[in-house]
Amino acid sequence: MDDLPSLRRQLNKHLARLQVIRSQYRGLVKTLGAANDHILAATEAQEMAQAVAQAVQQQAHDQIAKVVSQCLTAVFDEPYTFHIIFERKRGRTEAQLVFDRDGMTLDPMTATGGGVVDVAAFALRLSCLILHKPPLRRILILDEPFKYVSEEYRPRVRELLETLSEEMGVQFLMVTHIQELKTGTVLEIG
């Protein structure tokens, strides 16, 4: 019987410890619930941000592809259509620039001529200028931008430059040795 008070104290000590553990458990369950709610909200926010990003990417793609494809069509008889393929890799979005013709997707740098790449690169610069927010002064300074365009297409490039300058209000300052591309105010140096 002498052990009864000692056992009672031990029991009370264990009951108090149990009470503390239950209280901690309830607190952890609440914290876990709040963490799960936070994860759910963060996941929903991420999905919304990704949807907005995809919409912005698509809008940018449509505007850029339109300008590049129109420039290619203005210069070449059998033009390519320009596209940007967005791929999610390593947790980031990567953009691949491609040309399409007759249902085939082609790498511009390996499957097309230099003249096509020159016109597309020019059109991409033009797209960046036009789409920039806030708007920039509409001037492009170019150094031999069409050096790989075949001689037969150079008059079309000149017409393209004249049309773009007039319709879009873009001024082109271009260094070139190609006589067929000279248009507007020409300064001969040297």
What's the confidence (pLDDT) of residue 39?
Answer: 96
- 86: β partners: 95
Spell out the residues 6+ positions from residue 13 whose beta carbon is closer than 8 angstroms to its own. Answer: none
What's the confidence (pLDDT) of residue 105?
Answer: 87
Tokens of 141: 């300074």
The pTM assigned to this predicted structure is 0.74
What's the confidence (pLDDT) of residue 83?
Answer: 92
Question: CB neighbours (10 Å) of residue 81?
Answer: 14
In angstroms, the Cα distances linking 140 to 50, 82, 106, 129, 145 are 33, 21, 28, 8, 11
> Distance between CA atoms of 174 and 190, rounded to whole angstroms?
16
Question: CB neighbours (10 Å) of residue 46?
Answer: 10
pLDDT below 50 — which residues of the chain?
none
Note the pLDDT tens digit of each residue in 18-50: 999 999 999 999 999 999 999 999 999 999 998
What's the confidence (pLDDT) of residue 155?
Answer: 96
> Distance between CA atoms of 155 and 179, rounded to whole angstroms?
10
Superfamily per CATH, domain 47-181: P-loop containing nucleotide triphosphate hydrolases (3.40.50.300)
